[in-house]
Amino acid sequence: MTEAYCDSCPKAKWSPKPGDLVQIWDHLGPNGRKTEFKTTIDGHGWLGYVVGDSTNPKHRAAGAVRVICFGKNDDPSVGKIIDVNVTWLRKIDNSSDILKVQSDSLSQNR
């Protein structure tokens, strides 16, 4: 799997593995640390588990992994599997690692 920088990890590099709890975080959008862009990526703030590398060869080559996010469907017991580039993932080891998405018009549907 591809390595990524992890804010919540003591080491600078982190390779997501199946079973890792992660948060999708757009660090360049208005709710991230920087404000270079006015919109955030789909899934910003969602929590999920890494289930493996992307099954799409182009996404996999670009560093995407498959993440299953729960509570984002009509039936909250069913997960939504999405491809996410590892640079948009934060590893969650403790509940204190979870960042809160600021409430605004951009994140209302997330």
pLDDT (tens place) for every residue of the chain, 110 residues total: 555 545 544 444 788 999 999 999 887 765 555 555 567 778 888 899 999 999 999 999 999 999 998 766 666 667 888 999 998 999 999 999 998 887 654 433 33
pLDDT at residue number 17: 94
Residues 99 and 64: their CA atoms lie apart, in Å, by: 21
Beta strands in the chain (DSSP E): 4-5, 13-14, 21-24, 47-53, 64-69, 80-85, 89-91
Instruction: Give the right CATH number for 4-93 from 2.60.120.10, 2.30.30.30, 2.40.160.20, 1.10.760.10.
Output: 2.30.30.30
Domain boundaries, the chain: 4-93
